[in-house]
A = this chain, B = another copy of it.
Amino acid sequence: MTEKTDYLKETIRHFDITRNNPVPLVESMRHMAFSARDLARAADIYDRMLADKDCGIMLCLAGSLISAGLKKVFADLVRDNLVDVIVATGANIVDQDFFEALGFLHYQAAELLKTGIDDSKLRELAIDRIYDTLIDEDQLRICDDTTRKIADSLEPRPYSSREFIREMGAYLDRQSNKPEDSIVYEAYRAKIPIICPAFSDCSAGFGLVAHQAARGSEPKVSMDSAKDFLELTRIKMMSEQTGLFMIGGGVPKNFAQDVTVAAEILGAEVPMHKYAIQITVADVRDGALSSSTLHEASSWGKVDTVYEQMVYAEATLAVPLIAGYAWHKGSWKNRPRRQYNLKLDADQGGG
């Protein structure tokens, strides 16, 4: 009889930019054509953002990046101060990063499973599939439930996702075994905000639904997505210049681009994002935001057009090269730490 362990054997192991120096490779790609040249130019723009002392950097994450082996890349960017705020899908932050921080793992699916032919068997065994990656659904339910417990423990009021995710970081900090390379935990320690504008659309959503259903008409925790937007707008207003490092599109891209307009509406005069790079496989021709060019964003007054570059590539190939390039170039070594969490708390008289 087939068992869970027959499928969950080979784990996903996370790429380590600190041990792979792609600088010569990327430098060589600069002189080629097509995606290689685009990638080299994007890597160069990221390095410029890091060298620009006035620039706050927003990292936007969409797509299944953490489960695909990119967790340590982003954890290193947070730890070593190559990013100042993260805007992400809930899946990356909760279902995948926090999930692994709780001690669980992602697994490689056998080639054949990509065709979908074993999906009903996986269903029976409570294994979830993301293309070529497998997850133990029972463990995911524990992750859901942990977010419920965190919600239960909080003062009932509206929270921004940043506030809730910081509580998840605090939860991890209270454990005796500290998680290794967790984005949530490293951001908590570095006082770097993580914002998930569609926070209920993930494992935490399940926890929060359970929390709210149990509370009934009693006071309860609610997730205020307007506060998310207000906080990211305040971060924009606190920053002399800003740069976007976007992986995938979706809500994180839109949200991060929109803050320049929101700041204007609040009466602040802020510049457009000075730098912007995006890695995506999306197609420009359907008018969806995920794939809209950064040039188009300039018509909206969101992104300046001098230092912008789209890279049409899948993230697992492009992120190790771009992030690795910037890490090994070392321009980040003298960057000030912005610790926006402290400033947002000060703004609000505490979180």
Contact = CB atoms under 8 A, between A and B. Distances in A.
A125 to B, nearest CB: 9
B255 A201 contact: yes
A344 to B, nearest CB: 14
A25 B221 CA distance: 45
Given A119-B298, A305-B120, A227 B222 contact: yes
Nearest to A17: B28
Contacts of A102: none
Given A200-B197, A288-B63, A69 B313 contact: no
A153 to B, nearest CB: 16
A226 interface: yes
Contacts of A141: 265
Most chain-B Cβ atoms within 10 A of its Cβ — which of A106, A212, A217?
A212
B198 A225 contact: yes
Contacts of A75: none
Nearest to A122: B299
Nearest to A319: B36
A283 B290 CA distance: 12
Residue with the greatest number of chain B CB neighbours at <10 A, chosen from A106, A255, A349: A255
Interface in A1-35: 10-16, 19-20, 22, 24-25, 28-29, 31-35
A240 to B, nearest CB: 21
A56 interface: no
B287 A34 contact: yes
Nearest to A112: B117
A263 B200 CA distance: 14
Contacts of A22: 25
A130 interface: yes
Contacts of A293: 116
Contacts of A227: 212, 222
A241 to B, nearest CB: 18
Given A63-B289, A131-B287, 8 more contacts: A63-B286, A120-B299, A128-B299, A198-B198, A198-B225, A281-B285, A290-B290, A313-B317
23 contacts: A13-B28, A15-B29, A19-B28, A29-B316, A29-B317, A32-B69, A34-B132, A63-B286, A63-B288, A112-B117, A115-B115, A116-B298, A119-B295, A198-B201, A200-B225, A201-B255, A209-B229, A210-B265, A217-B349, A222-B224, A223-B225, A223-B226, A248-B286
